[in-house]
Structure 1
Amino acid sequence: MEKAIDLQGLTLGVCYYPEHWPETLWESDLDRMLEAGIKVCRIAEFAWSKFERTEGIFTFDFFDRFLDLAQSKGMKVIFCTPTATPPAWLTEKYPEVLNAFQDGTLVRHGMRGHCNHTSPVFLELCARLVEQLASHYGKHPAIIGWQIDNELNCETNMYYAESDSKAFRAYLKDKFGTLEALNDAMGTVFWNQEYTDWEEVFVARPTLADSPNPHLLLEQKRFVSKVTIDFCRMQADILRSHCKPGDFITTNGMFGHLDNVQMTEEALDFFTYDSYPNFAYSLNQSVNANAAAAGRLRDRTSGLALSKVRSISPNFGIMEQQSGGGGWQTRMPQPAPRPGQMRLWAMQSIAHGADYISFFRWRTCSVGTEIYWNGILDWDNRDTRRLQELREIHKETEKLSSVVGSRYQAKIALAYHYATEWDGEADIFHGPLDGVSVMNWFAACQTAHAPMDLLCLRDQLTLEQLLPYELLILPHISLLSDMVCDVLKAYLEQGGKIIFGARTGYKDEYGRCPMRPAPGGAASLIGGTVKEYTLVPEGGGGTASYAGKSLPMPLLNEVLEASGGEVLAVYEREYYAGQPAILCRRVGQGEAVYVGSAFSEELAAALLCRVGLEEPYAAELELPPEVELAVRVKGDKVYRFLLNYTAENSIFTCKKPLADVLSGLQYSGRVTLPPYGVMVLTDL
């Protein structure tokens, strides 16, 4: 069942922390929020001690007062469960709730996310707290929804406490039944790793050369996802038993070793994301060291993350939208957003499917680790440039109210697969390919103004999910099941086009390499197999002759062998010069293409041209590369979002008369889009 946010209009919110400020400020804060167009505030995600200062003694008056004030002002509230920051009394009395480093050293109180999700004591105390909050606040008229925890698996996505090993053993015993089956699936015959007793099994521990059993490590990540989903579902079930009809339940963030699609299906009404495009300008970290395109696109690359969010909820919320620069006192330093960028980033989120935008945060905190993470207001509480920009955003979102419920439209989908991602983290022979190829496909589609979705590949994949797309890209889905291949074949037979990348289908579900030619179940679709492979030799290889052009074939080269497929390109250099690099095969009404390498941006662009999907809106708009085109559609209404990510004017051409929803102006012919400018063009 589709899980999408359902609002009456584009809504603006803000993250607010009543416990950080004198109560005498609350009323003026709410008044200023409302004046600036804020209609919702998110509260309480780190406030456990405000409810349970000592064990078992619950008090509610602090947030009662805030909620009653919010109700009197007409401010709506998203209430959070504060389980991401358990209090000091809890971790001191029950140290078994603490997460641990891989060597077993306990993580201590003083940050956040310092507990694990397998400790029976922690689960019991969390459930009791959520029950108390839900039963007391669940019917409050100011509350419209609940956020579970905060950014699940953010601070860490691996857990090494004693309770984690116990729970992991139970998980494996339930899944595999016997030690013999576990040993077979995990390949423990290698290096004499066989288990003869369940008590010998642990979550990954320090090993020489940091090389634990890769198959057991992959299974541990599946276990982490399951445990985190169980933790989320436990809270959701309690909340649903108390909250008002129509109040939603969600969570925020998108972090590692967590199947967010499954979590949303099983526990949430829709998914929300925390969007921080300014990380692209971080002063001490690369945007993406794997791909030069990321450095060129900068904050535009946030659209890739938003596309992944859209694969979870086609219409979603932004629970934290960046409003300022800064960072933590210890890391993530960023410059302040330039004038117009806060608006640009909010519109980027809306263009990609967000119907709710909540800015982080109302006022910059004056204490703690985040004293430099700027909000709408600064410490001094005076009006800021960002507050004025918020007022302008509010005026524009009111004009865009009809966009709510419209869907992002794309003819291209790029597939991702959680188990392949998790396995690739510990596999240098396929993991690094994905970061390069995904970014280069995103860059090629952005430059060609070809909107692209992301699509989660699961064994539950259906033909109906694929049919809206003309092109499906599977960059490097190493753990590709035969069940999914059957759906891909049906898609091809009905006229779809698929482009596979190197390392497709060569592993099974446990990350083992079975004795069959790569690309496994996809071999019959592409009309060929992989004869041999090599990492691209330094100073050699890495290019292929395709359609009269020499195109980069980076990182890893597979030498292909055709068996019914047509050779589209051959390698140009090294000992495999002249041998097949790209194959294609007709399947029914469709076509499968297999590329024996990672994807360069040039190669991705060439393949877009092959399938005729470059500049799909060329009949309406002629756009320069620096302008993003995103399209949302509702019925016969088409919203064309144009976003300029540069500090310069950008010139484009309207090939037919179009009207800008934001300015009310009509355009035809050459048009100037100002620095960091946004237009939303519709038919007259």
Structure 2
Amino acid sequence: MTITGSTVDHPATTLAPIPPQQAEPAPAAGRPRFEHQGIAFGCDYNPEQWDPAVWREDVALMREAGVDLVAINIFGWAALQGPDGRYDFSALDEVVELLHGAGIRINLGTATASPPPWLTARHPEILPVMEDGTTRYPGGRQAWCPSSPVFRRYALALVEAVAERYGEHPAVELWHVSNELGCHNALCHCDESTRAFRRWLRERHGTIDELNRAWGTSFWSQRYTDWDEILTPKLTISSRNPGQVLDFQRFSSDELLGYYRAEAEAIRRHSALPITTNFMVTAHIRNLDYWTWAPEMDVVANDHYLDHRLGEPRTELAFAADLTRGLAGGGPWLLMEHSTGSVNWQPVNLAKEPGQLLRNSLTHVARGADAVCFFQWRASLQGSEKFHSALVPHAGTDSALWREVGELGRIVGALDEVAGSRVHADVALLFSWESWWASDAETRPTHAIEYLDQVHALYGALHDLGVSVDVVRPGADLTGYRLVVVPGLYLVRDADAAALDAAVASGAHALVTFYSGIVDEHDRVRPGGYPGAWRDLLGIRVEEFAPVLPGTGLALESGARASLWADRLEATDAAVLDRFADGPAAGGPAVTRRQGVDGAGDAWYLGTLLEREGLRDLVARAVDGAGATREPGASAEVEVTRRTDGERTWRFVVNHGSADVEVDARGAELVTGSAVDGRLTVPAGAVRVIREEGAA
């Protein structure tokens, strides 16, 4: 199919009205499937940054590198439409045909991620307002309010035009709505957002009295008498109402989800292809509740970058991959963006070591990714991201990085047979964006610990022990899991708490850590002692939180070391496995276990933040007590993960260490193309993937 007629008369003054937001997420069943052949190897491509003479060279190099999926038109609005409202598709047409001619599939963006300057100049009312009441101006990206009807009118008209033009083009394989929605502009406090927030609150709470009850507005004389009195939680001279802040987070996530739905609806009028957007399941962005977003995606996609501000960025990568797989319901997902080397937005942007590109990429594949894609194809020469790494670096193709890219492309191609297979785990970890929002509030027992500190610590212990983990939402079906880990789940609904109770009653084991089960969905404390939701399950009662100052060590009677937090608790129906030897809870229980009877599982509780070795030992006891699987040969330096299609198993061994390791293996090794009969050496810094007959 060749596109002709590139300039379209589509005046901005005749744009379509905003479609209404759906009340409930549509079910995933029956949605179009992403059906790429094998594991996709791809990138973002921004041809508008380059002279057309470069495009043909780029496409030839893409074929050389093995690239077979390219995302285009992500930031193309200014190149497609001018202030007269007319669309010019001539350049995009040419790029589409070049890729199509080379057999490269297209992940087509809607071009709405950032409005062009002419639009914000004409309509400054679309600009977002921050919590301090100041407006954010053009010059960066995402300079738009998610609630703005004006922005939606222009953006959806653009989506309609793009979808109408390319909706049936044979090169298009996937639709890419906007880009990293909510990365910068999720929380807008403008007048339009305030009106939308009030509408959302009416729908959620029904009456002003119910809102007052949910927010606890009897405190500090905050009781509302009319919806028009309610504002977004802008900065105040004191701490803000936690219920108001929590509901604003929920509203903001829902508002952007409504925007996603509107774009997807426009696309579906012209195309039957799958639609997605790139999530940001990562440690430094928390604005969207992806559990509510995932059912809307035809295929789940994620952007992930190593964050060297963290203590264990490699382990966080594995956690993010497992969480993304959880969002995909355990099925395959797409790694839409990661980096070949350094990024450009951290205080120190570290380059990747030789071999790290392969290790990082295949860690995602091992944990369920059916695509390995990058930002971006060619490193920009100008703009904010000119020092962000790319497949083609500033040094060009005569570079070590380009040679690594070529080798990675070859290996991804060798793993095509893995596509569609799944990871099986018998350990689940409960994770919640709502609890993250509520737990890290302005007022809390200590600012020295954040929600992710506990999540990453518990996940890290499981990772070091070689335990495959499914990251699931509270209230998920826990059937089949031998162990359920609950790190710092401060906010939990009664029904979701009951789901864990039921799982333990049916034989699953549970490991719950401090600051869990404290409040309900309205951030209202459950009285009677902590952890209110799970006192009976755990057989304990915490009377008081006793955090300690950073740098203050805590000793347990077993010799284990801890820090930052202590619970003053009593064991009402649980055995005490370890006690505090010093600190504010000296002599009191630190680790307990309520043993199951009549087929029920054990329920463990940890009332402090153990240091790495002690935490790993405790988690190992819980894992082994539950009979959960630990992969032989796995360690903090060696990741071992399996994917299976029910008939074959692919065992990924990623050696991050400085010494060779040996594993017992039989089958075909796909990275080197060699047969394995008994023992396999995995060199330091290398990855090996063994195909074994039979399910895991």
Common fold: TM-score over 0.5: yes
Tell whether 2:652 aligns with 1:622.
no
Secondary structure at the aligned position of 1:122 is classed as: helix
Amino acid at match of 1:97: I
Give yes or no for contact 1:540–1:573 (8 Å, CA) kept in 2.
Answer: no
| Alignment counterpart, residue 96 of structure 1, candidates 108, 116, 125 | 125
Name 1:637's counterpart in structure 2: 648
- Tell me the residue number matched to 2:17: none
Alignment of 1:409-448 (within 5 A): 409-426=424-441, 427-429=443-445, 432-448=449-465
1:558 matched to 2:585? The reply is no
Measured at CA, do residues 71 and 600 of structure 1 come closer, stay the same or move farther in structure 2, by a change above 3 Å? same
Question: Hey, what does 2:212 align to over in structure 1?
Answer: 183
Question: What is the percent sequence identity of the aligned residues?
Answer: 28
Task: State the match for 1:503 in structure 2.
Answer: 515
Q: Counterpart of 2:87 in 1: which secondary structure?
A: coil
Task: Give 2:490's aligned amino acid.
Answer: S
TM-score (norm 1): 0.90
The answer (yes or no) to whether the contact 1:519–1:530 under 8 Å persists in 2 is yes
- Counterpart amino acid of residue 406 in structure 1: S
1:312 is matched with which residue: 307, 319, 327? 327
Unaligned ranges ≥5, structure 1: 281-285, 288-293
Contact 1:55 1:89 in 2 (8 A): no
Q: Does 1:526 align with 2:538?
A: yes
Q: Deviation of residue 91 (structure 1)?
A: 0.8
Distance 2:664 2:487 in 1: 34
Instruction: Report the 3-state secondary structure (helix = DSSP H, G, I; strand = E; otherwise coil) of the residue aligned with 2:602.
Output: strand
Change (3 A) 1:346 1:126: same
Counterpart for residue 236 of structure 2: 207
1:323-374 CA deviation, whole Å, 9 max, x = no partner? Answer: 132515xx55423322222222211111111111112211111111111112
- Secondary structure of 2:541's counterpart equals strand
The letter for the 1-side match of 2:613 is: E
- Give the distance between the partners of 1:47 and 1:575, measured in 2 at CA: 58
For the residue of structure 2 that corresponds to 1:408, the secondary structure is: coil
SS in 2 for 1:129: helix
Structure 2 spans left out of the alignment, 5+ residues: 1-27
Change (3 A) 1:109 1:505: same
Does the Cα contact within 8 Å between 2:550 and 2:563 map onto a contact in 1?
no
* C-alpha deviation, 1:484, in angstroms: 1.4
TM-score, normalised by the number of residues in structure 2: 0.89
**For the residues of structure 1 that align with 2:274 and 2:622, how far apart are their CA atoms?**
45
Equivalent position to 1:347, from 359, 362, 367: 362
CA–CA distance in structure 2, aligned partners of residues 169 and 599 of structure 1 = 43
1:665 to partner: Cα distance: 3.2
RMSD across aligned positions (CA): 2.4
Letter in structure 1 aligned against 2:361: A
2:471 aligned partner, one-letter code:
L
Q: CA deviation at 1:134?
A: 0.9
Give the drift of 1:612: 4.2
Stretch of structure 1 that moved more, 486-495 or 34-43 = 486-495
1:679 aligns with 2:696: no
Taking the TM superposition and a 5 Å limit, the aligned residue runs for 1:178-327 are 178-209=207-238, 211-243=239-271, 245-254=272-281, 255-265=285-295, 267-277=296-306, 279-280=307-308, 286-287=309-310, 294=311, 297-313=312-328, 314-327=331-344
Q: 2:146, 2:185 within 8 Å by CA — same for their partners in 1?
A: no
Distance (Å, rounded) in 2 between the aligned partners of 1:185 and 1:578: 38
Question: How many matched pairs?
Answer: 654
Partner letter of residue 318 of structure 1? L
> In structure 1, how many angstroms separate the alpha carbons of the residues matched to 2:635 and 2:524?
46
1:557 Cα offset (Å): 1.5
Q: Aligned to 1:167, what secondary structure does the other structure show?
A: helix
- Alpha-carbon spacing, 1:612–1:70, altered in 2? closer, same or farther (3 Å): closer
Q: For residues 584 and 480 of structure 1, do their structure 2 counterparts lie closer, same or farther at Cα, with a shift above 3 Å needed?
A: same
Deviation at 1:659, TM superposition (A): 4.2
For 1:663, the equivalent position in structure 2 comes to 672
Matched position secondary structure for 1:628: strand
Once residues 224 and 269 of structure 1 are traced to their aligned partners in structure 2, the CA distance between those partners, rounded to angstroms, is 22
Is contact 1:10–1:400 with CA below 8 Å preserved after alignment?
Answer: yes
Separation in 2 of the partners of 1:229 and 1:64? Answer: 30
Deviation string 1:61-85 (CA, Å, 9 cap, x unpaired) is: 2211211222222221111112221
SS in 1 for 2:559: strand
1:122 aligns with 2:133: no
Deviations 1:486-530 (A, max 9, x none): 221221122101111112212121112143332223122112221
Instruction: Give the conservation status (yes or no) of the 8 Å contact 1:623–1:653.
Output: no
- CA distance, structure 1, for counterparts of residue 233 and residue 480 of structure 2: 42
Distance in 1 (CA, whole Å) between partners of 2:623 and 2:235 is 51
Partner of 1:290 in structure 2?
A: none
Kindly provide the CA deviation profile for residues 1-55 of structure 1, in whole angstroms up to 9, marking residues without a partner as x. Answer: 5798554311211211111111122122111101210111111111112222125
Return 503-512 or 572-581, whichever deviates more.
572-581
CA contact (8 A) 1:658 1:668 kept: yes
User: Secondary structure, in 3 states, of the residue corresponding to 1:376?
Assistant: coil
